[in-house]
Structure 1
Amino acid sequence: MAQYADKPWLFLTSDQLDHLSEAKRERVARQLIEYCQQHFPLRLQGLDDVEQQQQWAIGCQRCADRHGYGAADEVMRWVNLYAVLGDDFPMRPTMSFTDRSSARKGFCLSSA
């Protein structure tokens, strides 16, 4: 049976944890952009600058996080809703029938 030492063998400072978290967020942002370029290219239209696309992806991550979706796979599912229903999802007022029909045509729940 394995015994655990009283003193941890690995200690990370809060700065080190922040750095690791930031690197993970940047990687997920790149994945979101690539996913949208493949599945929702019209959504990124007008965001020609790489920085604009990154800001959009960061906004998507933050929105997902506010609603309890923080893991990378959860955010990759959330992007489907965010891309189809817009940046103000889910705060937008109730969608009209026409909006719902349009959203369904481009909607999928697959993840990258």
Structure 2
Amino acid sequence: MWSTLLFTLLAPAFTFASASTGDTLVACLRSGSPPDAVLTPSSAGYNTSRLANINARISYFPIAIVFPNTARDVQKYVKCGADAGVAVVGRSGGHSYASYSVSR
């Protein structure tokens, strides 16, 4: 069963120099992960997951949403984000009205 913790990888348009950077990030995230552990905007369930357990006042569209099962998964996903220069934000729901967990 998926952990209640999910990570989003936020990438404002000005962050990526090219689409290939985003493709490289997603490839890194998917490498060795279960098929449904990494969601992108073209994935079924992306919008449902994007809006679940977060402050709905803020509309954001992460480049990927990942569902780690183990600490090793978390390490891998954070490293993929860091290697790509993308902010990684942990989410588990119930965040503040001021959206302190949103990294922009």
Question: Under TM normalisation by the shorter chain, which class is it?
Answer: 0.3 to 0.5
The structure number with the bigger radius of gyration is 1
Q: Structure 1 or 2: larger strand share?
A: 2
- Return the structure number with greater relative CO, CA threshold 8 A, min gap 6: 2
Higher helix share: 1
